[in-house]
Amino acid sequence: MAQIAEELRIKGRREGMRLAWKGRASSWATKAFIYLLLIDISFVFLFPVIYLITTSMKSVTDVIDPTVYWIPTKIEWNNFTLSWKALHFFDWNGWHAWPNSAALRSAEIAVAAAIGQVISASLVGYGFARMKFPGRELLFMLAIFTFLVPPQTIIIPLFIVYKKLGWIDTYWPFIVPAFLANGLRGTLFIFIFRQFFRGLPWELEDAARMDGAGPVTMYWRVMLPLAKPAIVVSFLFSLVWHWNDYFEPTIYLMSQEKFTLPLRLSIFWTGLDEITGGQASRVFNEPLIMAASFLVIVPPLILYVFTQRLFVESVERTGLVE
Amino acid sequence: MSATTAPRVRRMRLSLSKQQALTGYAFILPWFIGFLIFLAYPLFQSLWLSFNNMENLVNFQLKYIGAANYIEAFLIDAQFVPMLITVIRNQIIDIPLILMFSLFTAIVVNQKLPGQGFFRAIFFLPVVIGSGLVVQQLFGQFNADPNQSGPLVRGIDVPTMVLVLGPEAAQAIFDLMNRLSLVLWRTGVQILLFIAGLQGISSTLYEAARVDGATEWEKFWKITLPMISPIILLNAIYTIVDSFTDVFNPILNYIRGLAFAGQFRMGYAAALGWVYFVVVFLLMLVVFWIGQRHTFYAGER
C-alpha cells in the first residue's frame, strides 16, 4: 500500500515538475545556455580528475617536456605498478598467509562500519520517529548536539578511553561506535532514518498491530523493507566517508601493517623507498603520487559508477528534506 | 459493575503506555550507550583536561593548573588566535559561496533535459573522492614544495585586468578565486539536498504563478527561494560541520600536532579544542538565528 502511495506521489511530482518547467526550457536559446552552464560547471569537477588520470600516466620525460601538457606520449604503466607496491595495495603472499593489503584494511573498516551504522541508525531512527516516550525530544536534541561537536574537542579523551580499553592499534574504535549509532557522522544517519520513518503512514503500524505484531516484528518485517532508499543512502555515504577518512586512522592506528589506504598514501615516499631501495627520483615525482592517488579513489569510483543512479534516486526518496 | 472495571482499564492503559515507553527506550538504547561513552564522557573529560597539565603519559596523571592553558592560548601562543580567526573568516566567506553555487547548480541540473542524469553524476563526484587526502594531493598542499600550487588553483584563471582595481582589491579577487575552486569541491551533498528540495516543491504553486503571469525571475524569488529556505539553513549548518574534519582545517592539524606528534601537550590541546568548539558553536548560533528569521515553513501561518 505505502509503496504504491509512495510511487504515485513521486510520479505525480515528476509529472508536475515536467509541467512546471515546460515553459522554461522550451526555447532553443535557453536550452543551449543551460547546457553551456552544465558543461562549464562539470569542467570544474572533471578537471582535477582528468588531470589526475593523465598525469598518472606520464613518464618523467613527459613531465619535463613543456609541449606535453595533457596527453602523455606513451602510457607509463610502471607508475601504477610502483604505486601499487608502495601503497601495499594488495600484497599477495600465497594461500597460506593473509594478504598484506591496505585496500583490504580500508574495505574491512568501511564495510563493517557502514553495516553497523545502518543497523543501529535504523533502529534508533525508528525509535525516535515512531515510539512515544518521555524525554524523546530532549534526547533527539542531544543527538543533534552530538553532530555539532567538533572531533577536535573530544579526540584526546577519546584516545585515552580507547587506550584504557586496549583498542589503540585495532579497528574497534571505528567499528564499535558505528554499531552504537555513533562514529563518523552517526547522527546524520539517525536523522535520515528518522525523517524517512516519520513520512510513512501510521495505518501501516495499526494494521500490523492488529495482526499481533510486536515492536521488533514491526520494525524488521514492516518498516525496514520499506526503508530501502534510506538504507542505500546511509550505507553508501558511510562506506565512502569511512574509506576516505584520514584524521581518525592517523590517531588510532600505529603499526603499518594495519594502515588504511589514505594512511599509506600519506607515507607514500617511505613506502616507495622500501620498494626501490631509495632509487626512485622524487624530483619529477608528480606522476607517481598521482598514480597512487588514483589507486586510492578507484574502488569508490567504481562503486559510484554502478550505484549512482540508485543513489541519486534514493536521496530523492528518503524525504530527507521535507 | 462499572465501578470495578474502570480502575482496571486505567491500569491497563497506564501499563500499555509504560510498555510503549520502555520499547521506545530499548530502540534508542544503543545510541544512548554510545553517546555516553563516545561523546558525553570525552566531552566532560576534555573540559577537565583543559584545566590540567598531563604530567605522565603512561598512566595519564593530571595536575590542576587552573586557566593557565586558556591564558596561554590567547596571550602566549602566537599561532592559535590568528589561525582561529582565519578559520572563522574562511567559514564566513565559504558558507555563502557554497550555498549559492550549490543552489544554482541544483536549479540548473533540475531542468528536465536529456543527459541531466549524466551531469548529476558528475556533480556528485566530490562526495566520492572529495573528502580525503586525494584532494589534498590535487591542490598541491601535500607536495614537498609548499610554494607549488596545485592544478586546481590553476583551473580558474583570473584576468590580469583586475589589477587596475588596485593591489588590495586585486589580491582580494585572487584570493576569492583561489578559494572558489577549493570550495566548489565541498558542494556534493549540498547540491543533492537542494535537488531533493526542489523536487519537493508542489507544482501547483508554479502553475498558479504562471496563470497569474509571473516571470521566471519572479517565480524564483517568490516561490523557489522561500520554499527552499529550510534547506538553505540545513545546508549552512551541514557546511560548518563538514569543515571540522576537512583536510585543510588548520586547527585540526594543529591540535593533532600538539597532542600526538612529539609534544604530547594533551591538556593544552584540549583547551584549544574547547575554545574552537565554543567559537564555532557561537558561529552556528548566529547562522541559525539569521536563518530562522528568514526561513519560511510552509506549514506555518
Which tops the pLDDT comparison, B188 or B10?
B188
pLDDT at B70: 92
Q: State the smallest CA–CA distance between residue B173 and chain A in angstroms.
A: 18
pLDDT at A3: 61
Which 8-state DSSP code applies to residue A98? -
pLDDT at A89 over 50: yes
Write the DSSP assignment of B105-136 as a string of letters: HHHHHTS--TTHHHHHHHHTHHHHHTTSHHHH
B279: contact with A, CB 8 A cutoff: no
Over the stretch B193-241, which tens digit does the pLDDT of each residue have? 888 888 888 888 888 988 888 888 888 888 889 888 888 998 999 999 8
CA B273 from chain centre, in angstroms, equals: 17
- H/E stretch holding A117: helix A102-130
User: What is the spatial distance between Cα A185 and Cα B123, in angstroms, rounded to a whole number?
Assistant: 22
User: What is the spatial distance between Cα A161 and Cα A184, in angstroms, rounded to a whole number?
Assistant: 17
All residues of chain B having their beta carbon less than 8 Å from the beta carbon of residue A133 are 20-22, 24-25
From the list A45, A149, A289, the residue facing B122 with the nearest CB is A45
B199: contact with A, CB 8 A cutoff: yes
pLDDT at B164: 63
Residue of A nearest to B112 (CA): A18
Residue A28: count other Cβ atoms within 10 Å of its Cβ: 8
Q: Do residue B276 and residue A150 have CB atoms under 8 angstroms apart? A: yes
Over the stretch A91-134, which tens digit does the pLDDT of each residue have? 877 777 777 889 999 999 999 999 999 999 999 999 999 888 99
Backbone torsions φ then ψ of B149, nearest 5 degrees: -90, 145
Q: Which regions of A71-111 does DSSP assign to beta strands (E)?
A: none
CB A208 within 8 A of CB A218: yes
Of A207-211, B166-170, B181-185, minimum mean pLDDT range: B166-170
pLDDT at B157 over 70: no
CB B69 within 8 A of CB B51: yes
All residues of chain A having their beta carbon less than 8 Å from the beta carbon of residue B229 are none
The H helix count followed by the E strand count for chain B is 15, 2
Q: Do residue B200 and residue A24 have CB atoms under 8 angstroms apart? A: no
pLDDT at B150: 44
Cell of B254: 594543529
User: What is the spatial distance between Cα B74 and Cα B80, in angstroms, rounded to a whole number?
Assistant: 8
Backbone torsions φ then ψ of B53, nearest 5 degrees: -120, 135
Across A182-196, average pLDDT: 90
Residue of B nearest to A14 (CA): B199
**Among A residues 101-120, those touching chain B with beta carbons less than 8 Å apart:** 120
Backbone torsions φ then ψ of B62, nearest 5 degrees: -110, 155
Cell of A67: 609541449
Count how many Cα atoms sit within 13 Å of the Cα of residue B154 in the half-sphere of its side chain: 9
From the list B34, B196, B255, the residue facing A180 with the nearest CB is B34
Backbone torsions φ then ψ of A113, nearest 5 degrees: -65, -40
pLDDT band at B152 (very low <50, low <70, confident <90, very high): very low
Across B264-284, average pLDDT: 91
A69: contact with B, CB 8 A cutoff: no
Over the stretch A192-224, which tens digit does the pLDDT of each residue have? 899 889 888 888 888 888 888 888 888 888 889
All residues of chain A having their beta carbon less than 8 Å from the beta carbon of residue B152 are 47-48, 51
Identify the residue whose cell numbers are 540545513: B234
Over the stretch A23-75, which tens digit does the pLDDT of each residue have? 455 578 888 888 888 888 888 788 878 888 888 888 877 877 777 777 888 88
Backbone torsions φ then ψ of A136, nearest 5 degrees: -60, -50
pLDDT at A290 over 80: yes
User: What is the spatial distance between Cα A47 and Cα A40, in angstroms, rounded to a whole number?
Assistant: 11
Burial pattern A188-218, b for ≥16 Cβ within 10 A else e, equals bbbbbbbbbbebbeeebbeebeeeebebeeb
Identify the residue whose cell numbers are 588520470: A53
CB A121 within 8 A of CB A193: yes
pLDDT at B156 over 50: no
pLDDT at B148 over 70: no
pLDDT at A13: 58
Residue ranges of the domains in chain A?
Answer: 19-86+267-317, 102-256
User: What is the spatial distance between Cα B87 and Cα B255, in angstroms, rounded to a whole number?
Assistant: 14
From the list B39, B45, B200, the residue facing A321 with the nearest CB is B200
Pick the CATH number of A102-256 from 3.40.50.720, 1.10.3720.10, 3.40.50.970, 1.25.40.10: 1.10.3720.10
Task: Classify residue A301 by burial, with Cβ atoms within 10 Å: 0-12, 13-18, 19+.
Answer: middle
Q: Do residue B202 and residue A16 have CB atoms under 8 angstroms apart? A: yes
Cell of B247: 583536510
From the list B111, B270, B281, the residue facing A25 with the nearest CB is B111
User: What is the spatial distance between Cα A246 and Cα A262, in angstroms, rounded to a whole number?
Assistant: 6
Cell of A140: 533527539
- H/E stretch holding B56: strand B52-56
pLDDT at B300 over 60: no
Helix axes A136-147, A186-198, angle to 10 degrees: 140
Q: Do residue A136 and residue B24 have CB atoms under 8 angstroms apart? A: yes
Residue of A nearest to B144 (CA): A282
Q: Do residue A293 and residue B138 have CB atoms under 8 angstroms apart? A: yes
CB A34 within 8 A of CB B113: yes
Which 8-state DSSP code applies to residue B162? G
Q: Give every CB contact of residue A183 below 8 A, 6+ residues apart in sequence.
A: A113, A116, A117, A174, A177, B34, B38
All residues of chain A having their beta carbon less than 8 Å from the beta carbon of residue B49 are 156-157
CA distance to A205, B93, B103, B120, per residue, from B153 (Å): 54, 17, 23, 23
* Residue of A140, A133, A238, A224 lying closest to A186 (CA atoms): A238
Of A45-54, B147-156, B260-269, minimum mean pLDDT range: B147-156
Over the stretch A214-264, which tens digit does the pLDDT of each residue have? 888 888 888 899 998 899 989 998 999 999 888 889 889 998 888 999 889
What pairing do the DSSP bridges indicate for beta strands B52-56 and B61-64?
antiparallel
CA A285 from chain centre, in angstroms, equals: 29
pLDDT at A319: 62
A266: contact with B, CB 8 A cutoff: yes
pLDDT at B218: 87
Helix axes A268-276, A77-86, angle to 10 degrees: 100
Across A286-294, average pLDDT: 87
Of A274-288, B43-57, B163-177, B281-295, minimum mean pLDDT range: B163-177
Across B94-119, average pLDDT: 86
User: What is the spatial distance between Cα B24 and Cα B31, in angstroms, rounded to a whole number?
Assistant: 12
CB A12 within 8 A of CB A4: no
pLDDT at B247 over 80: no
From the list A22, A120, A293, the residue facing B137 with the nearest CB is A293
The whole-chain average pLDDT of chain B stands at 79
Task: Classify residue B85 by burial, with Cβ atoms within 10 Å: 0-12, 13-18, 19+.
Answer: exposed
B229: contact with A, CB 8 A cutoff: no
Q: Do residue B133 and residue A265 have CB atoms under 8 angstroms apart? A: yes
How many angstroms separate the most distant Cα atoms in chain A? 76
Across B124-144, average pLDDT: 65
From the list B27, B142, B259, the residue facing A126 with the nearest CB is B27
A135: left (phi over 0), alpha (psi -120 to 50) or beta: left
